[in-house]
Amino acid sequence: MNIFKRLIVNGLANSHICPLKIRLKLYNLMGIKIFPKEIRPNCYFNSEFVSIGQGSFVNYFSQFHSGNDMNGKIELGVNCYVGMNVTFCTISHEDGGNIQRAGRNVYKPIKVGNGSWIGANCVILPGVTIGEGCIIAAGSIIIKDCESNSLYAGNPAIKKKSL
Ligand SMILES: CC(C)(COP(=O)(O)OP(=O)(O)OC[C@H]1O[C@@H](n2cnc3c(N)ncnc32)[C@H](O)[C@@H]1OP(=O)(O)O)[C@@H](O)C(=O)NCCC(=O)NCCS
């Protein structure tokens, strides 16, 4: 995302003074093709490679750290709910050796199935697919795929029960 788009997306559209309808319009005009019913202020978008389905809801301070191609895409289905301060992180690093451990950037996509609910303060790591109809408990770190219609919780998150 160029610096102009970044300013509009992360400086204007996400502010409290920007009404919801204008916020969603600005995101789409800047190339972020998302159709949620609501995105609250102070969310962050790193690139255009994000899709959010109809009926979805994103709460305050959530962050979409997508990359610059399909490998770094973040896809949320329809009717997904995202709590406060959730981090979707498609970006990691190769082991760069002991002079600088954080080596070359590596991107893996993230998918969240229709109808899932991600609680506040969760972190969704690169390459993860969360199935449809899941609940991810507040504060969980998701390091691997989650089966549909299941509750996951903890760090690292494990399946607690079927729903
Ligand atoms: C997950 C949640 C909805 C509770 O669901 P529930 O079906 O009532 O689950 P239970 O209380 O029966 O707990 C099931 C298991 O998950 C564990 N668990 C529940 N929430 C947890 C959490 N946040 N972190 C770690 N473990 C958790 C319980 O300890 C229990 O573990 P056990 O079976 O090993 O004893 C609730 O704990 C939660 O995290 N809500 C999110 C609130 C939020 O983020 N709101 C933002 C608004 S969008």
CA–CA separation, 14 and 95 (whole Å):
34
Name the closest-CA residue to atom 3, ligand 1: 137
pLDDT tens, position by position, 5-56: 999 999 999 999 999 999 999 999 999 989 999 999 999 999 999 999 999 9
CA–CA separation, 77 and 131 (whole Å):
10
Cβ of 106 below 6 Å from ligand 1: no
CA–CA separation, 83 and 87 (whole Å):
10
Rounded alpha-carbon distances, angstroms, from residue 10 to 23, 63, 64, 100: 10, 10, 11, 30
Name the closest-CA residue to atom 46, ligand 1: 83
Q: For residue 27, which of 16, 3, 12 has the smallest C-alpha distance? A: 12
* pLDDT confidence bin for 90, thresholds 50/70/90: very high
Q: Which atom of ligand 1 is nearest to the CA of 120?
A: 44
Q: Scanning the structure block, which residue is given the tokens 């002079």?
A: 99
Q: Give me ligand 1 centre to Cα 35, in Å.
A: 28
Mutation to probe ligand 1, out of 160, 161, 162 (largest number of atoms < 8 A from CB): 160
In 19-36, which positions are buried (b, 16+ CB within 10 angstroms) versus exposed (e)? eeeebbebbeebebebeb
pTM value is 0.96
| Phi, psi dihedral angles at 162 (to 5 degrees) | -85, 150
Q: Is 93 a catalytic residue?
A: yes
pLDDT tens, position by position, 60-85: 999 999 999 999 999 999 999 999 99
* Residue 55, phi-psi category: left (phi > 0), alpha (psi -120 to 50), beta (remainder): left
Task: List alpha helices for 18-139, DSSP H.
Answer: 20-29
Cβ of 85 below 6 Å from ligand 1: no
Which of these is catalytic: 37, 93, 144, 161? 93
Q: Give me ligand 1 centre to Cα 153, in Å.
A: 7
Q: Which atom of ligand 1 is nearest to the CA of 135?
A: 1
